[in-house]
Chains A and B, each alone.
Chain A
Amino acid sequence: MSDQTYATPVPQSSPPQRDYSAFDADLTGQAFNFQLFARLLRWLRPYRLTVAFSLLFILLAAGLAVMLPVVTGLVVIDNILRPESVSGEEPDFGMTELTYLISDVSGYTPLIAACILYLAMVTAQAGIMYLHRITLASSVLKALRDLRVDLFSTLEDKPSSFYDRVAVGRVMTRVTNDIESLNELLTGFGMLVGEFVPFFVALFLMGAISPSLTLIVLFAIPIAAVATYFFRMAMRDIFRLIRNSVSALNQYLQENLIGIQVVQLSGREGMNEEHYGRLNHDNRRFEFQAINYETLYHSFNESLASIAIGAIIWFGGGQVVQDEITLGAMILFIQLITMMIMPIVGLGEQFNVLYRAMASGERIFQAIDWDERLKEPEHPVELPPRLRGEIELRNVHFGYNKGEPVLKDVSFNIRPGEKLAIVGPTGSGKSTIIRLLARFYDFDDDMIFLDGIDLNQIRSRDLRRRIGVVLQDFHIFSGTVRDNIMLNNPDISPQQAEQAARTVNADGFIRQLADGYDTHLAERGQNLSQGQRQLLAFARVLAADPEILVLDEATASIDTATELVIQDALHKLTEGRSSIIIAHRLQTIQECDRILVLHHGVVREFGTHEELIKKQGIYYTLHELQFQDGAIAAELAGADTEEADSPVEQQADDDDDGTPPSMREPDSF
């Protein structure tokens, strides 16, 4: 089932009821899947000229490789050392004439001339092989780089509904390891071609010299092929068992290391050693089984070649005596046999690579073919250079899963330049509104409007350039502070970045860092405080200068001084911009023009501060409580968790809506 998924296109229009488990499935395809290979070749097409040259070179080199024993066998032994036996009928591809020509021209003896010819041919062969290798490597590497970038590009476009359900690690290895094993496949394939070409040239040559002796050799080939086949069949399951047992060993060790304190406090050392011992034992058993086959096979085909040599001596020797062939031809045969058996040996050893590469190819194309994308308009509306900044939500119904509505009939509007605070308890759907405005998810037409234009009529990229979103768990990339503000956006200059930082009061702490704007931040910004991260997020969004701002205020506790700085920054940030703020602090809410109270996905109250106070409803009560709640919770729960930085997935508890917890990424906003 799973090996077909990459080829099955998912109908565009049908609602996403996708089988994400396909991404976790252990793909084990066939040893050789021509369809997949053909598809892979498409990426080589831009470099087909290089590939063609590479193939031409390998043909030449292979031809020369076969000529070397011709020189020793037919020219040196027959013509030079045993001139009395020459019949002149052996197909030596003009090597004898060439030798004598060299001898005539240079004046050396034929023997020296043969040496010169031999040396020249080896040199030419090595040079051509070099050209073959680098042309092949160059085209394969470039093709795989393109494939890697193409794969990466499709991943960049996958919507949040995809990343909600597929672990990043699962996707990541496709861009790294899987592409690497394709490299192995393609270069290995080049090598295989390089071995099979001499195979056929040698076969042709042998047939021309002595059809009857060739039959003996041909008799050995099916035996070698059958041995290879059986080896492959026997090893197939064992390789899988070994792989599984090794990963079981590693997983067990890793988990034990991560939870070592629990292990030790529970006194489980002895029991765990026994368990690990059992896993270790299984692994050893499978490894032993594997080497039984491997060693049996390993030199079987080589021995076969030697046995064929014995047969050639017996039959060929008889033919030499009867003057049917020359001694040199017999020796040529002996030397060619090795050349014929080698590719079959190589094939047997390449099977492992082949399996791995095919599975990798399947995984890569599965990801490329996974056409989960945001709905983009067919005839997108071009946004005017300057937006008014009017947002309207009209009877918005939305849910992440069928039958689990998160927003129910939500309607409200923001006037140009207005600031709106959204208030509501955990699970009310506040963050969902932000996600919809940022177009992280698809929703129905005619629900959300920007300056009167249906959001679904705007390209998501255009939209996101105009709407700046500050997520609560703001992602810091490893890189300098400046990089984190600019985010590699070519439209932002370093000066603008610093200006933005100054505006949102981030300049002060940045300059106090070791290298100022060039200070290197670790991924997720572990070397910054919560407040500093928040200011950096402000600077980032300000530098991009969006016309509309959507902001999820951080809940974590911040000391009073920082709090004031952030309030001031927020004030500057929202100035003159239509803004939607999910607010946790009283101060923030009071700065806003209007307030929306959301509860269980329903708008409960909507109006100005005064209006809502007058109403004496939810907002009034919340206001009475002074909104201390978030700060307290953070102080109590959040303050001590810095140490708990284990590699084990940390569940974000601050999230609020219907996404099942098991499906969330730790750093989802």
Chain B
Amino acid sequence: MPNGHHSAQSAQYTANSPRRADATFRDLGHLQRLFPYLKRYAWPLTAVIFGFLLTRLFDAAVPLFLMHAVDSISEGNPSLLIPALGIIVTVICRYGVFVYARRLMRRIAIAVCYDLRKRLFTHVQRQGPAFFNKYPTGDIMSRAINDINLVRNVIAWGVVSIMTFLFSVSIAMVFMFYLSPALSLMVIWPLPIVAYVAFRMSRILFPYIREQMMAIGEVTSYVQENLNGIRTIQAMAQEEAEIKRFTEVSTKYADLVYRATKYRAIMNVIMPMMTTILPVIIIGYGGSLVLSDEISVGTFVAFFSYLLMLTGPVRMIGMSLSMLTMGAAGTARLCEIFDYEPEINDDLNAAVPDKIQGQLEIRDLTYTYPGASQKALTDISINIEPGETIAFLGRVGCGKSTILKSLVRLIDTPAGTVLLDGHDIRSYPLERLRKEITLILQDPFLFSDTLRLNVTYDDPSRQDRPIWAATDAASMSETIREFPLQLATIVGERGITLSGGQKQRATLARGLIRRAPVLAMDDCFSSVDTETEEEILSGLQNLRKGKTTLLISHRVSTVRHADRIFVIDEGRVVESGSHGELLRLGGYYADLEAVQSNQDQDRQRKVKLLHDLEDKQEAVVGGEG
């Protein structure tokens, strides 16, 4: 599979699959992957095919009526009622059939896209981290938006235009041959050439379109970057230089669009010229046949109408085919996602206990991230009894987070290395496992929704009492009460922006509300100030009595109250024991404690100082007022 391409539209969307604009005929095979989706609509599809066939037959009948009318006039004994009514009735019938078939086809296209979208969402939701490493959000979004659209176009228009082409050309030819084989032969021979040239020219246009897309991408990223750094630019008084550069970028874009337009305009000269040969043949050769009385004036006129039926689809064939190839590339890109099997599937046969005590065992766990050269964890063996509080400490990237992730299978560890209450975690259904072991992630992510729905994310039916209990435990209640809308406050993109600490406390509440037998907190206090952290931790000691708690922190003051502390370095446990034991050991932990306790004292003094200042300030302000 080709890798490392960049989608022409935007640099942020890295594509793992064929570029859409590069698709060739070889990609057409991918379209067969759409068959299962179309099969559901087999009967409507058959109706559509008959509908379009009928439409073309009606189309072909109109010139016949016209011919009869013209001939009857020309021969001086006019019979006009039948042709006139015939045309009107035919047109009305054609309209009805056409609307029916077209509507049906487009409904099918919409329905298939509905199915694809649903499948995509469901499929993506069950994927693990490896998948999301390979397909970043932007990439999946691009598939969900652009590729599904391509599929829709290919069903609604691409297939239809191919059908139109086949039906129009064959039916028009039948009728033309019926009217005058000699003239038909003369008219038909240039058609393949026209079709070929049309097709070639539409292919030649691709690079121009791609260049144009890349240029607009350049304009977009230029503007975006410039506006993101606008203060720097203004501070350095570089606005004029930027405007000058932007003028160059936009001029380049305008030039490229102009080039593509020019090419398209040339195409629009050549195509009509080529098809013009056909009416000229009719005028010249057909006219001479009329003069020599081999065909009637009516036939002569009818040929012009059939010509329209022929040339339209023939000229469009290039576009229709490229629509098909692009649709095929889109299908391939969607199927690439569908073919990616989720790494984790529930083992339905394994027996697991109904009630979890919270005993954890990590047994000789060694883990390497896919594609990484170094081991993330080496020979980790930890036994955790129910009700214990365990802390992990270590440098950035030492493997602490990996340990916590392995407990809830955010990374997939080998069988038999992680056990919950004596059973391999792989034998628990995933949802059950993640319910029993609640992991609170380091990155405080909130959905742009109300605070209530964020805190009760796992189960929106929760009542007020547990919600407030959880926010109390996370020291978030006071903040929430300050918002006019309280729990109904919308946060995130479309609502208010919380500070880093507030976000962290909200995510903490979201985890605490689940009251799981095992709670794992991955550095959840980094943006919370020390006092609040102390408050939360001491609260947790009561709240989690008898339940297993694991936490990661950089602060000695956070981890000191844990029953046991594990110091991790380069994926190995280098020190372990209680706070006192580790201090006596005189290793990394003891050093860290020495540095941090000094700082803590200083910090306390500073807080006190600022507090005093605050008081004084108030006294000053009060005195002035």
Contact = CB atoms under 8 A, between A and B. Distances in A.
Contacts of B220: 172, 176
Interface string B123-161: 011110100100001001100110000000000000000
Contact of B224 (A168, A311, A639): A168
Interface in A270-287: 271-273, 276-277, 280-281, 283-284, 287
Contacts of A669: 231
B8 to A, nearest CB: 15
Contacts of B91: 303, 306-307, 310
B445 A258 contact: yes
A495 B239 CA distance: 23
B519 to A, nearest CB: 12
A155 B246 CA distance: 12
Interface string A115-134: 10011001101110110011
Interface stretch (A9-17, A140-148, A195-203): A140-148
B243 interface: yes
B284 A295 contact: no
Contacts of B408: 265
A111 B261 CA distance: 37
13 contacts: A76-B287, A144-B254, A149-B247, A171-B227, A255-B447, A267-B434, A267-B435, A295-B102, A314-B80, A330-B73, A541-B236, A648-B445, A661-B498
Contact of A320 (B78, B84, B527): B78
B262 A137 contact: yes
Nearest to A284: B114
B599 A632 contact: yes
Interface string A255-274: 11111111111111101110
A647 interface: yes
B81 A314 contact: yes
Contact of A133 (B73, B88, B265, B430): B265
A653 B504 CA distance: 13
Contacts of A636: 526, 554-555
Interface of B: 62, 65-66, 69-70, 72-74, 76, 78, 80-81, 83-88, 91-92, 94-95, 98-99, 102-103, 106-107, 110-111, 114, 117-118, 121-122, 124-127, 129, 132, 137, 140-141, 144-145, 216, 219-221, 223-239, 241-243, 245-247, 250-251, 253-254, 257-258, 261-262, 264-266, 268-269, 272-273, 276, 279-280, 283-284, 287-288, 290-291, 297, 300-301, 304, 396, 408, 410, 430-431, 434-435, 438-439, 441-443, 445, 447-448, 457-458, 460, 492-493, 496-501, 503, 507, 510, 523, 526-527, 554-555, 596, 599, 602-603, 605-606, 609-610, 613, 617
A4 interface: no
Contacts of A310: 83-88, 91
A268 B610 CA distance: 45
Interface string A588-610: 00000000000110101000000
Contact of B228 (A168, A271, A299): A168
A489 B240 CA distance: 9
Nearest to A267: B431
Given A250-B144, A440-B234, A276 B73 contact: no
A277 B223 contact: no
A400 interface: no
Given A156-B230, A176-B220, A320-B78, A628 B602 contact: yes
Nearest to A650: B500
A171 B114 CA distance: 33
Nearest to B125: A269
A348 B206 CA distance: 29
Interface stretch (A226-234, A384-392, A464-472): A464-472
A523 interface: yes
Interface stretch (A77-85, A444-452, A558-566): A77-85
Contacts of B243: 149, 152-153, 156
A534 interface: no
Contact of A284 (B111, B498, B554): B111
A130 B273 CA distance: 12
A654 to B, nearest CB: 10
A641 interface: yes
A382 interface: no
A303 B92 contact: yes
A474 interface: yes
A411 to B, nearest CB: 16
Contact of A313 (B83, B121, B125): B83
A668 B235 CA distance: 13
A464 B235 contact: yes
B232 A475 contact: yes
A649 interface: yes
A321 interface: yes
A280 B118 contact: yes
A288 B554 contact: no
Contacts of A268: 457-458
A175 B445 CA distance: 31
B interface, over-half SS: helix
Given A250-B144, A327-B297, A640-B526, A155 B227 contact: yes
A488 B238 contact: yes
Given A155-B227, A477-B229, A635-B554, 11 more contacts: A81-B290, A126-B273, A129-B269, A176-B219, A273-B125, A277-B118, A295-B102, A295-B103, A296-B99, A327-B74, A644-B442
Contacts of B613: 599, 604, 618
Interface in A98-124: 111-112, 114-115, 118-119, 122-123
Contacts of A541: 236
A30 interface: no
Nearest to A156: B239
A475 B300 CA distance: 73
A460 to B, nearest CB: 8
Given A111-B287, A475-B228, A489-B236, A145 B497 contact: no
Name the residue among A156, A283, A318, A643 with the largest chain B CB count within 10 angstroms: A156
A142 B396 CA distance: 53
A283 B272 CA distance: 40
A529 interface: no
B617 A599 contact: yes
A541 B122 CA distance: 52
A209 interface: no
A94 interface: no
Contact of B445 (A262, A471, A487, A625): A262
Contact of A260 (B132, B251, B492, B599): B132
- Give the one of B78, B250, B300, B596 with max A CB within 10 A: B250
A136 to B, nearest CB: 9
A643 B498 CA distance: 20
Interface string A145-187: 1001100110111101001000010011001100010010000
Given A145-B250, A280-B114, A317-B84, A262 B236 contact: no
Nearest to A621: B609
Contacts of A144: 254
Contacts of A618: 609, 613
B287 A80 contact: yes
B235 A469 contact: yes
Contact of B527 (A331, A599, A653): A653
A258 B106 contact: no
